[in-house]
Amino acid sequence: MDVLWMAPPLLLLFPLLMLTSSTFVFYFKKFFYVAWMMVLALLAIPLCFLKSGGRDVENMRLIRSLVRHVKYFLGLRFDVSGWEHLQTEGPYVIISNHQSSLDVLGLMEILPDRCTMIAKKELIYAGTVGLICWLGGIVFINRKKPNDAKSVMIDASKTMLDDKIRLWVFPEGTRNQTGNLLPFKKGAFHLAVQAQVPIIPIVFSSYSGFYLRKQKQFNSGTIRIKILPKIETKGLTSDDIPSLIDNSFDLMNSSFHSISNAVLHSNGPCKH
């Protein structure tokens, strides 16, 4: 009975904390995001087996449709430009900047058909989310063993051409909220050149107007996504990779600052 008496005060306390404590909002949204994604993965697992019989890139369509509503719960919306650049036939490599786990929502917002990702191997051990990633055909690499990662990239290049799939890669290699892009690693560019397929750069605006991890701020806000024109790699060799990386970085870094400045004025900076 004592527990029942506690229920009304707790129900009143929740909206009070949501209105008055930005730290509580931050942790609640983070917890909800992780928990809900795990629930959605649990729902998607049997559906993927029914749809494709197991691991298949076509499962990403189902995963995409299940995840797209999550943005509304977190108070986020996406403003996308350059859709026409994704209307490219055949295999290609997508490269984008990487700020946090929220990138998954933007990725699912624009993910083209027959596209999956390259991700760190540790993700496969993330419970139901890890299993659904495997079922979606995600290519896992061991970042601690460069030789293994290189071998996986070679196999991924062959799979791209044989199965006519697209691969999404985060060339920074890790999450980054410094306000600038980190130097790009070579893997995505080796992959594209080896397969002789185009690279399509995609840039997410800075999250600093609504999400600051260190300051424990997680407000509502807009994320601008800019899809840039494809970069051809036909005829390029491994000798061309350094200049390919530099050109891609310069294009994306310029776009990142441009759209981030624009969206920061509309979102307003987080107060802390």
Q: What tokens does 36 get?
A: 């809900």
List the one residue out of 156, 161, 70, 84 whose CA is nearest residue 117: 156
Q: How far apart are CA 52 and CA 44, in angstroms?
A: 12
Residue 272, in any domain of the structure = no
For the cut 80, the answer to whether the pLDDT of residue 174 exceeds it is: yes
Residue 125, in any domain of the structure = yes
List the one residue out of 189, 188, 185, 190 whose CA is nearest residue 173: 185
Residue 261, in any domain of the structure = yes
Q: What total number of domains does the chain contain?
A: 1
Cross-strand partners of 201:
95
Residue 241, in any domain of the structure = yes
**How many other CB atoms are there within 10 angstroms of residue 121's CB atom?**
17
Cross-strand partners of 163:
none
pLDDT, one tens digit per residue, over 200-215 is 999 999 999 999 988 9
For the cut 70, the answer to whether the pLDDT of residue 10 exceeds it is: no
Res 269: pLDDT: 54
Q: How far apart are CA 131 and CA 126, in angstroms?
A: 8
For the cut 50, the answer to whether the pLDDT of residue 272 exceeds it is: no
Res 6: pLDDT: 52
| Predicted structure pTM score | 0.90
* 17: containing domain: 2-267
Q: Do the beta carbons of residue 90 and residue 113 sit within 8 Å?
A: no
For the cut 60, the answer to whether the pLDDT of residue 30 exceeds it is: yes
Residue 139 sits in a domain whose CATH number is 3.40.1130
For the cut 90, the answer to whether the pLDDT of residue 154 exceeds it is: no
